[in-house]
Amino acid sequence: METVIPKTSVVLSTLLRADFTTQWRNRRAVMLTLIVPVIILVSWKGLIPTFGGPFALSNSITIGLFASGLMGYSNTVARDRDKGIFQRLRVAPVPSWAIMASRLMVQLAMILLITTAVFIIGKDYDGITLTPIAYILTYFTAIIGGAVSLSLGQMIVGWIKNPETVNSTTRLVYLAFIIIGMFGELNQLGEAVHNAVQWSPYGTVKTILAAGMEPERWNSNASIALLAAILYTIVFATLGIKWFKWNTK
Amino acid sequence: MDQESTNILTVDGLNVSYGNFQAVQNVSFDVRKGEIFGLLGPNGAGKTSTLSAIEGLLKPQSGAIIVDGNNAKEKPLHARASLGVQLQSTSFQPELYVVEVLQLYAGIYGVPLSKDTLTAMLKDINLEDSATKKFGQLSGGQQQRVSLLIATIHNPRLVLLDEPTSGLDPQSRRQLWERIEAIREKGNAVLLTTHSMEEAEAVCDRIAIIDHGKVIIIDTPQAIIDKYRNDPEVISVSRRGKITLEDVFIALTGKAIRA
Ligand SMILES: Nc1ncnc2c1ncn2[C@@H]1O[C@H](COP(=O)(O)OP(=O)(O)O)[C@@H](O)[C@H]1O
Ligand SMILES: [Mg+2]
Range in A227-236, B17-26, B90-99, B246-255 the model is least confident about: B246-255
Nearest 10 degrees: Cα torsion A91, A249, A106, A223: -120
Whether B257 shows a pLDDT value over 70: the answer reads no
Which of B240, B158, B247, B159 is closest to B197 using CA atoms? Answer: B247
Residue A2: pLDDT band with limits 50, 70, 90:
low
Mean pLDDT (chain B, rounded): 90
Q: Which of residues 159-198 of B touch A (CB under 8 A)?
A: none
Rounded distance, CA B182 to CA B178, Å?
Answer: 6
Q: Does the pLDDT of residue A1 top 80, yes or no?
A: no
Residue A206 pLDDT > 80:
yes
Q: Which residues of A153-188 are buried (b: 16+ CB within 10 A; e: fewer)?
A: bbbbbbebbebeebbebbeebbeebbebbbebbeee
Q: How far is Cα of residue B183 from the mean position of the Cα atoms in its chain?
A: 12
Q: Would you state the pLDDT for residue B34? A: 93
Mean pLDDT, range B42-46, rounded to an integer: 92
Q: What residue segments make up the domains of chain B, in order of their start?
A: 1-82+157-216, 90-155
Query: Residue B252 pLDDT more than 70?
Result: yes
The per-residue pLDDT for B258 is 33
Q: Give residue ranges with CB within 6 A of ligand 1.
A: A 249; B 18, 21, 23, 41, 43-49
Which CATH number fits the domain B1-82+157-216, given the four candidates 3.90.1150.220, 3.40.50.300, 3.30.70.360, 3.40.50.920? 3.40.50.300
A248 close to B (CB below 8 A): no
Lowest mean pLDDT among A84-93, A179-188, B5-14, B75-84: A179-188
| pLDDT band with cut points at 50, 70 and 90 for residue A173 | very high
- What is the tens place of the pLDDT at every residue in A111-163? 999 999 999 999 999 999 999 999 999 999 999 999 999 999 999 999 999 99
Given this model, what pLDDT does residue B255 score? 53
pLDDT level of residue A23 (50, 70, 90 thresholds): very high
| Interchain contact A30–B (C-beta under 8 A) | no
Ligand nearest to the CA of B88: 2
Residue in chain B lying closest to A16 (CA):
B104
Length of chain B, please? 259
Chosen for mutation from B93, B143, B154, B155 (greatest number of chain A CBs closer than 10 Å) is: B93
Pocket test for ligand 1, best of B27, B48, B89 (most atoms within 8 A of CB): B48
Q: Where does the pLDDT of residue B26 fall: very low under 50, low under 70, confident under 90, or very high at 90 and above? A: very high
Q: How confident is the model at residue A229 (pLDDT cuts 50, 70, 90)?
A: very high
Between residues A51 and A167, the one the model is more confident about = A167
| The pLDDT of residue B2 | 54
* pLDDT tens, position by position, B143-197: 889 999 999 999 999 999 999 988 888 888 999 999 999 999 999 999 999 988 8
Q: In chain A, where are the structural domains located? A: 8-243
- Is the pLDDT at B90 greater than 80? The verdict is no
User: Residue A177: pLDDT above 90?
Assistant: no
Disruptive mutation site among A11, A22, A87 for chain B (greatest number of B CBs within 10 Å) = A87
Q: What is the pLDDT of residue A192?
A: 80
